[in-house]
Amino acid sequence: MKATLLLMLCLISMAKAQTPSNTINLFVGTYSSPEKNPGIQVYSFNTGTGEFSSKSEATGIKNPSYLAITNDRKHLYSVSEGSEGTISSFSLNAATGQLTFLNTAPSGSNGPCYVSVDHKNKFVFAGNYGGGSVAAIPINADGSLNSNIQNIQHEGKSVKPNQDRPHVHAAVLSPDNKYLFVPDLGTDKVNIYRVDVTKSKPLTPANPAFVNIAEGGGPRHFTFHPNGKYAYVIHENTGEVTAFDYANGQLKEKQRLSMPVAGYEGNIHGADIHISPDGKFLYGSMRAEINELGIYSIDKKGLLKFVGRQSTLGKIPRNFSIDPTGNFLLVANQNSDEVVIFKRDKKSGLLADTGKRISVGKPVCLKFVAAN
């Protein structure tokens, strides 16, 4: 009897050991305020239940609003929004979520708002909203940043008051790591650069060097479909989404649609854009007085069809993220000081409030990373 019981316990233990963990890391970039500096917050997040718990934090960096994490999960990079224009580097222990500060390097100009890292961990790319430039920052062998950067200044303007000069708002690498796509809100262009990480100055203009966006749109964030054949950009000023066919560094516009309710005449402030892991649905956030997500299905040709709208249940949804399983969508409501957790219906794409909230001061950027 004892031997049988012992065997059963061993089998149960083995089964548990072979079951993949549902717990991953959630990193939250934030804005500082005169009252507090929440820094970068790290949580454990269960992709099966939506439960979470605090894991670690890294404070002392001013406005670490946008984050990027290397593919090997060993290093994290954050912008430091402000007039000084710097990028900070951290070593990362994915198992514990612990971040250890390494150093800072110049972002090339003031007001960095976006950061990405190439697949080979050779360069960090910074989008400088304030200064209207994009920078390539070399990564040292230990993950720290080298100050010998390449900075490319954009020129031009467009028709809206917030388009009196260049305002770079993202720097997104193509799936093959060969091109960098840089939406410039101020000039109504998505600039395209070739990337060669073997060179000290890895960025050169592609051919063509940019695609024009509808005048006054204000391209903000940019994303690729999981199949690598389509790309999408959200416009801050108009709340429109433009869909492109993509191949070999070239974008061909094929659809443009408006997210706000027909007839809406108030402020829009389109913000973030993401696609579900299965490639079936696209979500776009709108801030200002709207504070909601637009939900669209994606057909086999990459075209979008309206599915529904979801209030973000808070103010200024600056960023949102879908967990790698596609079970949950989390929204960082910047001016409500909390992250709202929604459950995704994978068949319909619609969202349901779980009632779960992560309380954190001025959340901006959400990044999921495996913990094991």
pLDDT digits (tens, 9 = 90+) for 230-248: 999 999 999 999 999 999 9
Q: Which pLDDT does position 35 carry in this prediction?
A: 77
User: Long-range CB contacts (< 8 A, 24+ apart) of 295-302?
Assistant: 295/349, 295/350, 295/351, 296/241, 296/257, 296/349, 297/349, 298/225, 298/230, 302/225, 302/229, 302/230, 302/243, 302/245, 302/254
- Which pair of structure tokens corresponds to residue 67? 């984050």
Q: Which pLDDT does position 286 carry in this prediction?
A: 96
Reported as a single tens digit per residue, the pLDDT across 85-127 is 999 999 999 999 999 999 999 999 999 999 999 999 999 999 9
**How confident is the model over 147-174, as a mean pLDDT?**
97
**How confident is the model over 54-79, as a mean pLDDT?**
96
Nearest Cα residue to 269 out of 209, 326, 315: 315
Q: Which pLDDT does position 70 carry in this prediction?
A: 98
Instruction: Please give the model's pTM, rounded to 2 decimal places.
Output: 0.93
Coil, helix or strand for 334? helix
Element (H, E) at 2: helix 2-18
Cβ-Cβ contacts under 8 Å for 6 (sequence gap 6 or more): none
Tally Cβ neighbours within 10 Å of residue 82.
15
Contact 327, 276 (CB under 8 A): no
Q: From CA 326, how far away is CA 323, in angstroms rounded?
A: 5
Contact 319, 65 (CB under 8 A): no
Reported as a single tens digit per residue, the pLDDT across 264-297 is 888 889 999 999 999 999 999 999 899 999 999 9
Q: Which pLDDT does position 82 carry in this prediction?
A: 77
**How confident is the model over 155-172, as a mean pLDDT?**
97
Residue 131, pLDDT > 90, answer yes
Tokens 């801030």 identify what position? 287
Q: Which pLDDT does position 265 carry in this prediction?
A: 84
Tokens 């995704």 identify what position? 344
Nearest Cα residue to 94 out of 144, 25, 28, 141: 25
Q: From CA 119, how far away is CA 129, in angstroms rounded?
A: 24
